[in-house]
Chain A
Amino acid sequence: MSGNGRTKLVLGYGTCGIAAGAAAVKEALERELSVGDYDLELDIAGCMGFCFREPIVEVFYPDGKAVVYGDLTPKKVPQLLQAAASGEILEDWVVRRSDDPTASEGDFLANQHRIVLRHCGKLNPESIDEYIAMGGYEAARKALTTMTPEEIIDEVSKSGLRGRGGAGFPTGTKWGFARKARGDQKYLVCNADEGDPGAFMDRSVLEGDPHAVIEGMIIAGYAIGATQGYIYCRAEYPLALKRLDIAIAACRERGFLGERIFGTDWNFDIKIKKGAGAFVCGEETALIASIEGKRGMPRPRPPFPANEGLWGKPTNINNVETLAAVPWIIANGGEKYAQLGTEKSKGTKVFCLAGKVRRSGLAEVPMGYTLRQVIFDVGGGVREGKEFKAVQLGGPSGGCLPASLLDTPVDYEAITATGAIMGSGGMIVADSSTCMVDLARYFLSFTQAESCGKCVPCRLGTKRMLEILTRICEGKGEPEDLERLEVLAADIKAASLCALGGTAPNPVLTTLKYFRNEYEDHIFKRKCTAGVCPALITVKINQEVCTGCGACARICPVEAISGEKKEPHSIDPQVCIRCKLCLSRCPEEAIYAE
């Protein structure tokens, strides 16, 4: 990164970094560099994946050494610049150092294998030159100038790459269908409608390495015979949209997009379509309807999009992560990609670690890694040393797995066998303070709201399930409710038109399977052991710990808390509405719910 002999500072400038305060850090860096006498360069990059320590700066020294610093603030900037200029290492701020890759939080990265995220955090996503300097667009050039479409499809088939949007359909086979489909015009669509709550890897790739996705699309378009590409991206990702715009414009300038690209007689261009907020548009046929300007409602298949897709023409749809892996596969060969992973799941998968995990962020690991390796070796285990309770995989379509299944490998078939799904890659870790019934209710409230309403099992079935879950959480559950949930779930899964309905019961079914005792506690003992469901808890003050500061009494909206100054306070359970506002106010953490 610092070929010209100068030390270079690279600021993580993705959405998560900016949300954590990277904009203010950037301003401070620019200000200090303009007034101070430093021989330093400053650049930005997308998310490195160390979301738990944002804002982050990586310092690249001329000798090749690199140090990542985290939790930066504008106040820390002068000290950071002085250290970078003098070569001093600020030990207390270090997140990772290249000369000791497992020190500090380094094993977060050391335990990963990055292919899709290979450039994220390493290059300025708004600079096509930096991408080219790292070998960018060489794979597209190779594909278009030296390979036939069939050879490309063959290479992708050999790699074993499967759709990373969640369904896991073999990409090479899918391309083959689109290649063989008859049509004067074919389309390629990049599905960037990342709607799963808790999943942000597509956003990170689009923000951190937009050219990799575009390059993947150029190769895919040529392979299937599509001259027009679309990127369907959520409107909620303004930074990703901005960087895609910049990247596409730069590609047109270089002759990588447009007419006669790479000096061949092949034409290919890309249009961006902004999604308008509908989870169901992640489904292929709904996504197509949305691009056509209609309500995003799925339709029965066949005909499959490969034969009749956008505007009735053959259309191939791939997820962001799938397309971002393609240039690497063409550059390095399908066989090399297939060396990673398990028998049926090849290559790597990006996961978004979040929830009660200590290191939340982006984790790309080879298929076959166990959940334990991802959560503990990469993620550093559960926060505050608490006990692991569950991991939620695959968002609203996925499921919750208990500690006993932590040795399940990351593999499409192995994860499906547990009742969860690989999904797009969200991985939310739960500890003892998470109520599994409430979590199931949360996902059902999501799918119920996002159901497009077209077919009855999904539209009404999810509503009935949500009603049952809500009453269980409110302490009004009936003994027959568990069976009712199971019957409804089976019917919805069997009879729904698309995958939204077909997978919506998964969070309920997996929690019923692995955490049934929590449901039973709610129904029979009227108790929420995690202390979450308001109707089933009592908020209390630990008399031993309370210092009588009165902060809780002042914030209580119903004046349920009383006590003498500097004496332990208490809560009147008859008045308390269990809003738990006092819990977050207490400086001594003396208040608890049970």
Chain B
Amino acid sequence: MMEGDTCKCSQRFADVDDLEPLREILERYKGEKGALIPLLQDAQEAYGYLDEKIMRALAKGAGYQLSQLYGVATFYTQFRLQPIGEHLIRVCHGTACHVAGAELISEEIHNILGIRDGETTPDRKFTVETVMCVGACSLSPIMIVDEDTHGKLKPANVRKVLKKYMGESEEREE
């Protein structure tokens, strides 16, 4: 294998052309009533998002109409139909965070990366999402980058936090 740092997403998630993980998932829920949502959840966990290929294979394999899967996938906020970037930024917009200025945090992320809720940078480095309340209200305002929580944020500190996740090229542009 090549040096792994060229594209981390391929390590985290299976390729959408590889249907082996999907076969395992289908096996896991075989014969279970009401397994549509867990099937989609597991598929998204394996592939990072719900590609059309995956949805079609899932519909066929589990005996659902594609429209049924699409209906559910677009109803719940957890499901993504587009791949995400290498780093996922989740900005909490719960009530406590809103009162503490979450709007300004999102605005500053837009200033720095040029992306808003649900968008991914063209270099696929960052995806930003707005989430409703992660339940750590005493640390508001909060943003979570991948697994790291950054609490009691100030807009002026957002750049410093994001720098940690930027490659060298971005830092030199500063």
A residues neighboring B (CB under 8 Å): 15-16, 18-20, 51-52, 54, 194-200, 203-204, 235-237, 273-279, 290-296, 311, 352, 354-356, 360-361, 392, 395, 426, 428, 430, 434, 439, 442-443, 446, 452, 555, 557, 579-581, 584-585
B71 engages A356 (CB within 8 Å):
no
Are the CB atoms of B34 and A293 closer together than 8 Å?
yes
How far, in whole Å, are A555 and B160 apart by their CA atoms in the complex?
Answer: 12
B136 contacts A16, CB within 8 Å? yes
Name the residue of chain B whose CB is nearest to the CB of A435: B99
Q: Cβ of B36 and Cβ of A352 under 8 Å apart?
A: no
Alpha-carbon distance A273/B33, docked complex (angstroms): 12
C-beta contact mask, B78-106 vs A, less than 8 Å → 1, else 0? Answer: 11000000000000011110111100100
Q: Would you call A276 and B79 a contact (CB within 8 A)? A: yes
A-B contact pairs, 14 of them (CB 8 A): A16-B137, A19-B149, A51-B139, A197-B133, A200-B135, A200-B136, A274-B38, A277-B78, A293-B72, A354-B140, A452-B75, A581-B108, A581-B111, A585-B154
Q: List the B side residues contacting A395 at CB < 8 Å.
A: 95
Contacts A197-B94, A276-B72, A581-B108 aside, 16 further interface pairs with beta carbons under 8 A come to: A198-B137, A203-B135, A237-B135, A276-B76, A296-B76, A352-B137, A354-B96, A360-B137, A361-B138, A428-B99, A430-B99, A555-B156, A579-B104, A580-B155, A581-B104, A581-B107
Write the chain A residue with the least CB distance to B96.
A354
B7 within 8 A of partner (CB) = no
Report A-chain residues with C-beta under 8 Å of the C-beta of B55. Answer: none
> Given contacts A277-B76, A291-B34, A584-B104, is CB(A16)–CB(B135) below 8 Å?
yes
Given contacts A195-B132, A295-B72, A585-B156, contact A290 B37 (CB under 8 A): yes
Residue of B nearest to A240 (CB): B135
- Shortest B114–chain A CB gap in Å is 12
Please report the C-alpha to C-alpha distance between residue A97 and residue B129 in the assembled complex, in whole angstroms: 41
* Residues on A with beta carbons closer than 8 Å to the beta carbon of B76: 275-278, 296
Are B34 and A354 interface neighbours, CB within 8 A? no
Flag whether B77 is at the interface (Cβ < 8 A).
yes
B136–A557 CB distance below 8 A: no
Q: How far is the CA of A579 from the CA of B105 in the complex (A)?
A: 10
| In the complex, chain A residues whose CB is within 8 Å of the CB of B38 | 273-274
On chain B, the number of residues with a Cβ less than 8 Å from chain A's Cβ atoms is: 44
8 shortest interchain CB distances as A-B pairs? A293-B36, A200-B135, A276-B76, A354-B137, A51-B138, A277-B77, A197-B94, A198-B95
The smallest beta-carbon distance between B84 and chain A, in angstroms, is 15
**Contact partners of B139 in chain A: CB under 8 A:** 16, 19-20, 51, 54
**Selected contact of A197 from candidates B34, B71, B132, CB within 8 Å:** B132
Residues of B near A275 (CB, < 8 A) are: 76
Given the known interface contacts A274-B38, A277-B78, A584-B154, the answer about A392 and B95 at a Cβ–Cβ threshold of 8 Å is yes
Residue of B nearest to A426 (CB): B95
Please name the residue on chain B nearest to A579 by beta carbon: B107
Q: Give the CA-CA distance A452 to B79 in the complex, in Å.
A: 16
CB-defined contacts of A446 to chain B, threshold 8 Å: 132
Q: How far is the CA of A513 from the CA of B113 in the complex (A)?
A: 41
Distance (whole angstroms) from the CB of B111 to the closest CB of chain A = 5
Give the chain A neighbours of B132 by CB distance below 8 A. 195, 197, 279, 446
The total of interchain contacts (Cβ-Cβ below 8 angstroms) comes to 150
Chain A residues within 8 Å of B155, by CB? 580-581, 584-585
Is B151 on the interface with A (CB-CB < 8 A)? yes
Cα–Cα distance between A555 and B155 once the two chains are bound (Å): 10
What's the least CB distance linking A191 to chain B, in Å? 16
**How near does chain A come to B67, taking the closest CB pair, in angstroms?**
11
Knowing A51-B137, A278-B75, A555-B156 are in contact, say whether A236-B131 is a contact too (CB < 8 A): yes
B121 within 8 Å of A (CB atoms):
no
Does B22 count as interface, using CB distance less than 8 angstroms? no
B137 touches A581 (CB 8 A): no
> What is the chain B residue whose CB lies nearest that of A276?
B76
Name A557's closest neighbour in chain B (CB-CB): B111
Decide if B40 is an interface residue (CB 8 Å cutoff): yes
Asked whether B134 is an interface residue with its Cβ less than 8 Å from the other chain, the reply is yes
Q: List, in ascending order, chain A residues with CB within 8 A of B95's CB.
A: 197-198, 354-355, 392, 395, 426, 428, 442-443
Q: Which residues of A contact B72 (CB under 8 A)?
A: 276, 293-295
Interface pair A200/B133, CB less than 8 Å apart:
yes
Is residue B142 contacting chain A, with contact meaning CB distance below 8 A?
Answer: yes
User: Per-residue 0/1 for B16-54: is the Cβ within 8 Å of any A Cβ (1 yes, 0 no)?
Assistant: 000000000000000001111110110000000000000
Bound complex: CA of A164 vs CA of B38, how far in Å?
Answer: 28
List, in ascending order, chain A residues with CB within 8 A of B111's CB.
557, 579, 581
Expressed in whole angstroms, the minimum distance between the Cβ of A194 and any Cβ of chain B is 8
Q: Which residues of B contact A355 (CB under 8 A)?
A: 95-96, 99-100, 137
Chain A residue nearest to B72 (CB atoms) is A295
User: Do residues B37 and A276 form an inter-chain contact, with CB atoms below 8 A?
Assistant: yes
Contacts of B149 in A (CB 8 A): 18-20
Q: Give complex CA distance A361, B140 in Å.
A: 12
CB nearest neighbor in A for B74: A295
**A15-B35 contact, Cβ under 8 Å, with A276-B40, A392-B95:** no
B42 to chain A, nearest CB (A): 10
In Å, the complex CA distance between A282 and B99 comes to 24
Q: Give the residues in chain B near A204, CB-CB below 8 Å.
A: 135
Q: How far is the CA of A17 from the CA of B151 in the complex (A)?
A: 11
Q: How far is the CB of A293 from chain B (nearest CB, A)?
A: 3
A479 to B136, CA, bound (A): 39
Assess whether B41 is in contact with A235, with CB atoms less than 8 Å apart.
Answer: yes
In whole angstroms, how far apart are the Cα atoms of A360 and B96 in the complex? 10
A449 nearest CB across to chain B (Å): 9
A52 to B98, CA, bound (A): 18
Inter-chain contacts of A52 with B (CB < 8 A)? 138
Who on chain B is nearest to A585 by CB?
B156
A196 to B156, CA, bound (A): 29
Please give, as numbers and ranges, the residues of chain A lying within 8 Å of B75 by CB-CB distance. Answer: 278, 295-296, 452
For B133, the chain A residues whose CB sits under 8 A away are 196-200
| Cβ-defined contact, B134 with A295, below 8 A | no
In the complex, the answer to whether B96 meets A276 with C-beta atoms within 8 Å is: no
Max chain B C-beta neighbours (<10 A), residue from A197, A361, A392, A557 = A197
Residues in B with CB closer than 8 Å to A237 are 135
Contacts of B98 in A (CB 8 A): 197, 439, 442
A428-B96 contact in complex given A276-B41, A277-B77, A584-B154, C-beta closer than 8 Å: yes
Task: Tell me the nearest residue of chain A to B149, going by C-beta.
Answer: A19
Residue in A closest to B144 when the chains form the complex, CB atoms: A19
Residues in B with CB closer than 8 Å to A442 are: 95, 98
Which of B35, B76, B95, B142 gathers most chain A CB within 10 Å? B95
> Is the CB–CB distance between A434 and B104 below 8 Å?
no
Return chain A residues, CB-CB under 8 Å to B36. Answer: 293-294
In the complex formed, the residue of A with least CB distance to B90 is A236
B156 close to A354 (CB less than 8 A): no
Residue of B77, B94, B99 touching A439 (CB-CB under 8 A): B99
Complex Cα distance A290/B71, Å? 12
User: Which residue of A is nearest B100, CB measured?
Assistant: A355
